[in-house]
Amino acid sequence: MQKKINKKTYYILLALVAGIIIYSALLVVYSLIPVDQKKTTVIVDIPTGSSFLEITKILDDAGMIRSRILFYNLAFSRQALRSIRAGEYEFNTSMAPSDVLSKLIRGDIKMYRVSIPEDLSVKEIADILMEYKLIDSEYFFELAEDEEFLQSLDIKAASIEGYLFPDTYFFDRSMSTRLIMRKMVEQFWKKVTPAMRDRANKLGFTMQQYVTLASIIGKESGKTDEKNLISAVFHNRLKKKMRLQSDPTAVYDLLNFAGAVRRSHLKRNSPYNTYIINGLPPGPIANPGLDSLTAALYPADKNYLYFVSRRDGSHFFSSSLEAHNQAVSRYRLNKNKN
């Protein structure tokens, strides 16, 4: 009887080992065969807090796995059941299950390369981020004026305007609106060094005034090589207690403004309109880049008080009103000829 039990046990163990070998071979083969050869791009969003069974269902529904059981066991064999990062993933149906799993384990989520140009307003930056579906627009604008949030970013102002640094960023959709805004402000503080802040203080500017001036300089000219000349004009006007008379300030707080600044705009009763207020506006009118921030601190050593557009992106600078009026007439005439 004992021999029969041993023999039976032997065959059971043999069958078990054979089954494990066959199943292991099947798992290896499964892990290496692509879903298909169509090379179709598939975007999969893994919500935060998803269990691996839920992740497997999401992948199956997206057509990225052929067998939930085999994929689950493959993940179990690689100890990956609890190491999947939430987020948006980009897969290709030519990928094998092993590659799909490796991507999930690495947390290789889809990143969006987002370029924020210089001198955009908070609203314009929000529009760009919304195009990539990276932010909650309503919450973005709430945070932009949230006192507690601004204080946490070391912004002593009523708005985040001016502090969202223009740069190229890599964001993913697992990032919160708050985190994206924080990263942009952190970049601002990396670029605006303590030496620059000290220089602004020595010039008699608060941080808010300094950024405000830089934002006006940036909106007046996109040419780096003349921004220190624009800066000289505004510094000279401030010293002489002349109004800055900057066109972009006259339309900053107009909703959905587009087109040319008109004479009627210059007469608007607005706290930002430097044609009617003295000194600087209460805050930035855009988010300036490093060249504008630098130009605001280091104006050219010129006695210019005026400038007029040459209609080619550059400006003509004058030290007297008479010379300025002549330049205005000249470039208006050129415009009419064109």
Q: For position 312, what pLDDT does the model report? A: 83
Query: What whole-number distance in Å separates Cα of residue 212 and Cα of residue 72?
Result: 56
Q: For position 317, what pLDDT does the model report? A: 93
Q: For position 123, what pLDDT does the model report? A: 96
Contact between residue 250 and residue 275 where contact means Cβ atoms under 8 Å apart: yes
The backbone torsions φ and ψ at residue 43, rounded to the nearest 5 degrees and listed phi first, read -100, 125
Q: For position 337, what pLDDT does the model report? A: 44
pLDDT in tens, the chain (338 residues): 444 557 777 666 766 766 667 767 766 777 788 888 888 999 999 988 889 999 999 999 999 988 888 888 888 888 888 888 888 999 999 999 999 999 999 999 999 999 999 999 999 999 999 999 999 999 999 999 999 999 999 999 999 999 999 999 999 998 999 999 999 999 999 999 999 999 999 999 999 999 999 999 999 998 999 999 999 999 999 999 999 999 999 999 987 777 788 888 899 999 999 999 999 999 999 999 999 999 999 999 999 999 998 888 899 999 999 999 998 888 876 554 44
Contact between residue 75 and residue 54 where contact means Cβ atoms under 8 Å apart: no
Q: In this structure, what token pair is assigned to residue 228?
A: 């220190």
| Amino acid (one-letter) located at 37 | Q
Q: For position 78, what pLDDT does the model report? A: 85
Q: State the architecture of 2-106 in CATH terms.
A: 2-Layer Sandwich (3.30)
| Amino acid (one-letter) located at 171 | F
Q: For position 174, what pLDDT does the model report? A: 87
Contact between residue 31 and residue 74 where contact means Cβ atoms under 8 Å apart: yes
Q: For position 59, what pLDDT does the model report? A: 93
Q: For position 335, what pLDDT does the model report? A: 56
CA 73 to chain centre: 39
How is the chain split into domains, by residue range? 2-106, 112-191, 194-304
Q: In this structure, what token pair is assigned to residue 14?
A: 């043999």
Question: What are residue 114's DSSP bridge partners?
Answer: 169
Q: For position 336, what pLDDT does the model report? A: 45
Give the global pTM. 0.84
Residue 95 vs residues 30, 88, 99: alpha-carbon distances, Å: 12, 17, 6
